[in-house]
Structure 1
Amino acid sequence: MNSDDASLLRQLLDQRVLSLGVLVDGAPYVGLLPFALSGDLQALLVHASGLARHTRGLGDGAPWSALLHLPDDPAGDPLQVGRVTLSGEVRRLAEGTPEHEAAKARFLARFPDAARTFELADFGLYALRVRAGRLVAGFARARDVSPGDLASLGRSD
């Protein structure tokens, strides 16, 4: 990955929300969720309410796809907006496990106001493990993104 693409990918991963596509009752559904990155940069961490429709698509092993994009410039070409689509499999993190506690700490470091939602019984913490992606940096500037590409970005704090 060249330095320009790596810089764009870092910028996209610094976004606070993602558009998450899942399957709900056999049909595609998209929701908007805040996310944090796992320490190894191999997963997006989301904390979702069981009352939200998109959460019904977050079963263990379920497929997901997410879009992260830069803001649209009204004076620019919307097809040139930098973006990455990531996809993979869902894993619900079991409360009380070291993985859950580490993910919770990362999520709360990014979203301290979310602490109250961790006290609600209907919320769950999910790791969206990344298997593949596609980065679009502009016209004729698209490339695949692998978990290795994410790992090469270095540690995320």
Structure 2
Amino acid sequence: MDPTLVDLLRALLLGRAVAALATLHDGRPFASMVPFAVTKTGGRLRLVVHVSGLAAHTRDMRSVPEICLMVMAPEMDDVPPQALPRVSISGQAEFIAKDDPEHAMLKAAYLGKFPEAADLFQLGDFSIVAIEPTSARFVAGFARAMTLSAESLTAAFHESPTS
């Protein structure tokens, strides 16, 4: 992938705090907003969310772990909405048990981005969910769209940035 596109993709995923999360709710599409963090360890790229058991999207992910996260650049006065950079990542949601050795690392990644969420980890109904990408649709701007495999998406995070 072109280095400027790699930088743009990274900026979206590392610079934005909230993603739209699409799940299946009783067989119908359902979208909600979730804070997310990105981890890049052991050759794997994963997105991390911390969700309440009271939320519909949490129950949905437990029933049907196939999800989609969309991250979008902020709206700008001089850019038409359809030209805004964005990425939709399809993936598998995996609930990580508190006694799983990965839990501490994923929690640290999440709190590294959202330190104000520390108190939520004391609540018993919240869970860490690691989303393993299976593919992505990256729109870098108007008429600049591409489909990325999980491997291509991961490679973008292991390449040297241009800046």
| TM-score class, shorter | over 0.9
Counterpart residue type for residue 78 of structure 1: P
Give the 5 Å matches for 1:54-133: 54-59=57-62, 62-133=65-136
Partner of 2:158: 154
Q: Distance in 2 between matches of 1:43 and 1:61?
A: 18
Do 1:60 and 1:90's aligned partners in 2 also have CA atoms closer than 8 Å? Answer: no
SS in structure 1 opposite 2:154? helix
Counterpart residue type for residue 92 of structure 1: F
Q: Can you list the C-alpha shifts for 1:121-150, whole angstroms capped at 9, x where unaligned?
A: 110110111000011112221111222223
Partner of 1:28: 29
Q: Distance in 2 between matches of 1:85 and 1:110?
A: 20
Q: Distance in 2 between matches of 1:91 and 1:67?
A: 18
| Structure 1, gaps ≥5 residues long | none
Q: Distance in 2 between matches of 1:59 and 1:5?
A: 34
SS in structure 1 opposite 2:24? strand
Q: TM-score, normalised by structure 1?
A: 0.92
Counterpart residue type for residue 128 of structure 2: L
Q: Distance in 2 between matches of 1:66 and 1:87?
A: 7
Partner of 1:16: 17
SS in structure 2 opposite 1:51? coil
Identical pairs, percent: 37
Do 1:64 and 1:88's aligned partners in 2 also have CA atoms closer than 8 Å? Answer: yes
Measured after TM superposition, the shift of residue 73 of structure 1 is: 1.2
Do 1:16 and 1:35's aligned partners in 2 also have CA atoms closer than 8 Å? Answer: yes
Partner of 1:134: 137
Q: Provide closer, same or farther for how the CA distance between residues 74 and 7 of structure 1 changes in structure 2, counting only shifts above 3 A.
A: same
Q: Distance in 1 between matches of 2:58 and 2:2?
A: 36
Counterpart residue type for residue 68 of structure 1: V
Q: TM-score, normalised by structure 2?
A: 0.89
Aligned residues: CA RMSD:
1.5
Measured after TM superposition, the shift of residue 89 of structure 1 is: 0.9
2:50 is matched with which residue: 44, 47, 66? 47
Counterpart residue type for residue 18 of structure 2: V
